[in-house]
Amino acid sequence: MRFTTLALALALPMSAFAAGGDSTTPPTPSETTKKCWGKRVWDAEAQKCVKPQESSMNGDQLLETARELAYLERFEDAQAVLAAHPDQTNSRVLTYWGFTNRKMGHTDLANEYYEQAIALDPDNILARSYMAQGFVSNGKYAQALAQWKEIKARGGAGTWAEASLRQAIETGVTVNY
């Protein structure tokens, strides 16, 4: 009973966390996910669905839209939005690229993106956690443990990134988001 309570307490906040976001709150459905299909986003100025690169969205809006699409497991659509981001060297953008590629089964490519994100921002604990989740999935526990230690050393103890990775290492079960 005690283990079940602990597992539930750890799982609830993690299940609500969406890909790459800085929040444990699921993204609020936007006009993009309510009205647009495929590789399209809602453009508030045009009042219609458009290709992401034709959108009037700024970089932060594009990232939030990619997060929302990834949360809905629309990974290819999320990547189309990421491709429209004006700064492809942004650590958060690279983390999203890594996450979507990992979820699509492209582990090596995902790790290249995570490594780029970490090289730009060694304190990017989310990239470290997502990369290590992939290590756990592939049975590379020593590499996952090394990233967990880095997360803790960089002030990430008690964060979603640290707790979800710790749970994955302990149980062998990774989280979706």
Pair 151, 69 in one domain: no
Domain boundary among the residues 69, 86, 103 is at: 86
> What letter would DSSP give residue 157?
T
**Rounded CA gap, 57 and 44, in Å?**
8
Measured in whole angstroms, the distance separating CA 93 from the mean position of its chain's CA atoms is: 10
> What letter would DSSP give residue 119?
H
Task: Give the type of residue at 172.
Answer: G
The model's confidence at residue 26, banded by pLDDT at 50, 70 and 90, is confident
Q: What is the pLDDT of residues 72-103, one digit of tens each?
A: 999 999 999 999 999 999 999 999 999 999 99
In a domain, 121, yes or no: yes
Pair 77, 50 in one domain: yes
How many structural domains comprise the chain?
Answer: 2
Q: What is the pLDDT of residues 96-126, one digit of tens each?
A: 999 999 999 999 999 999 999 999 999 999 9
Task: Dump the DSSP string for 75-114.
Answer: HHHHHHHHHT-S-TT-HHHHHHHHHHHHHTT-HHHHHHHH
For the chain, percent of residues with pLDDT exceeding 90: 82
Pair 62, 76 in one domain: yes
In a domain, 6, yes or no: no
Domain boundary among the residues 65, 86, 107 is at: 86
Q: State the average pLDDT over residues 26-43.
A: 94
Say what the pTM is. Answer: 0.85
Report the CATH number at residue 134. 1.25.40.10
Pair 92, 165 in one domain: yes
Pair 97, 171 in one domain: yes
Pair 52, 118 in one domain: no
**Rounded CA gap, 15 and 3, in Å?**
18
Domain that holds residue 117: 87-177
Q: State the average pLDDT over residues 115-140.
A: 97
- E strands, the chain, in order: 41-43, 48-50
Pair 76, 109 in one domain: no
Pair 67, 139 in one domain: no
